[in-house]
Amino acid sequence: MKITYATMSADNEELQQSYDDALERVTPGLGADHPLVVNGEERSTDEVFEERSPTDRDIVVGRYSQASTSDVDDAVAAASAYAPEWEEVPWQDRVALMRKAADIMEKRTFDYAAEMAYEVGKNRLEALGDVAETVEFYRYYADQMEQHDGFTIALSALSDNESNVSVLRPYGVWGVISPFNFPLALAAGGSIGALLTGNAVILKPSNVGALMAIRFMDTMREAGIPPGAFHLVTGGDEVGDHLAHHPSVDGLTFTGSYDVGMYLYKTVREDRPKPVIAEMGGKNPAIVTATADLDLAAEGVARGAFGFSGQKCSATSRVYVERPVYDQFVRKLVEHTRNLAIKNPIERDAFTGPVIDEEAVQRFKEAVEEVRSKGGEIEIGGTVLVDDGLDRGNFVSPTVATAPEDSYVWSQELFVPFVVVGPVDSLEEALVKANDTPFGLTAGLFAGDDKEVETFFRDIDAGTTYVNRAAGATTGAWPDIQSFGGWKGSGTSGAGGGGPWYLRSYLREQSRTRIG
């Protein structure tokens, strides 16, 4: 059985002990200084970002040198110079390198997951899943290169002395800008896709989560990635903006907010056409019909809404329930939420840990106040947690709310553990409301009727869809299991990460005709 977010179990004693052992190994190394890496050169700068754990602000996770725009220029120049040589490396050799990196990372799964818990507050299974997903990206994309024979296809000919072929070739230099919430998988996924297809890559991770990007670079260097093919520039928004708009960068992968994603999508191509793969979040609906298994639905919604404290672009954030089962569903969801363990994520039984920073805490408090000011109800939660040492971190309670439909909690992506629930008269009404959003990332349905399922799949405007999924109503996609990508304002490429069409986004076609 594949180990995924949906199949890992907290009851696995061997897994728990391996994680405990990893905590002992990695904890003494927290707080170290980390350079950026340009063309294989480690550069330490005077400006440093100090990352503190959201679990305990007294814990320094790492100190990261901050790149200047000149460092970015150097990385782009080195990548530009090396890109033609990297393209000439046989695709089979690039595949072998990625598989070697996968083997290296797999051996470090528990160490990286333990560091990730300190860095962004993921519980054990979520952190282990992040690392395991990254390993799967290496292997799945390598398999895709093989299955497509390096993306070269023979075409027809008009005469016996003519040969025609379609060759998919890399763009050249690719920038990757990654967020904090999947600090390893989202730094690596786009980078692996670009590198495998022959592009030279500059990665700029979020400062919050940068340690995992550094671990990705460590893995790649040990596997033997050429210095000119992969560069790491740590820094803030100015660094990312300079990289994205650099005239010698030929393509960009960005994961983050809608506002920033649309800004980049519109502006980085002003000088010339460039591919921009942007995944920009969601306001993901779940629908519960009168034919649903309500226990299954309550579990799926709770896991989808509150896993990693709701800090997933795929998080379940609004639920539409048919009226005959509405009250019963809300009661079951409240009870399921009441039983979730909110604590330090390194502890064995923690389900939900902290939110990432004080800004997220404030956003949570404002959402709670919004519900109350609009005459809604906080069914459970709504508090900042301070007991048992949680005041040292950014802990808030998983919250189920009801609110009028004109409240912004129905429309704005909150990125905190907060879900709003409301009644509908039919599946058709639920679908209209579910689709009434600029976003279209994920969506879920709980129903016991096949026609309802068919209607949902046909009419929902979302790129990643689930039916009757207890492991997460709208969350938990896995490479080669569920392609992960959004429609409308949630995505630009039309190809989901971890799916069979993803690598195509990093390639452009060249038609070759030869006579004689």
Distances (CA, A) of 174 to 177, 189, 197, 259: 10, 13, 11, 21
Q: 376-415 burial, b if ≥16 CB within 10 A, otherwise e?
A: bebbbbbebbeeeebeebbbbbbbbbbbeeebebbbebbb
Distances (CA, A) of 424 to 57, 367, 370: 43, 23, 22
Instruction: Report the amino acid identity of residue 350.
Output: A
Catalytic residue, candidates 133, 136, 279, 379: 279
Q: Whole-angstrom Cα distance, residue 257 to residue 278?
A: 9
Q: Whole-angstrom Cα distance, residue 49 to residue 258?
A: 25
What lies within 8 Å, CB to CB, of 150 at 6+ separation is: 91, 92
Distances (CA, A) of 494 to 262, 483, 499: 15, 11, 11
* Tokens at 315, concatenated: 């998080």
Q: Is 279 a catalytic residue?
A: yes
Catalytic residue, candidates 299, 313, 322, 413: 313
Q: Whole-angstrom Cα distance, residue 117 to residue 119?
A: 5
**Helix ranges restricted to H, 347-449:** 358-373, 427-435
> How many Å separate Cα 78 from the centre of its chain?
28
Q: Tell how strand 251-255 and strand 173-178 pair up.
A: parallel
211 close to 119: Cβ distance less than 8 angstroms: yes
User: Could you give the residue numbers annotated as active site?
Assistant: 279, 313
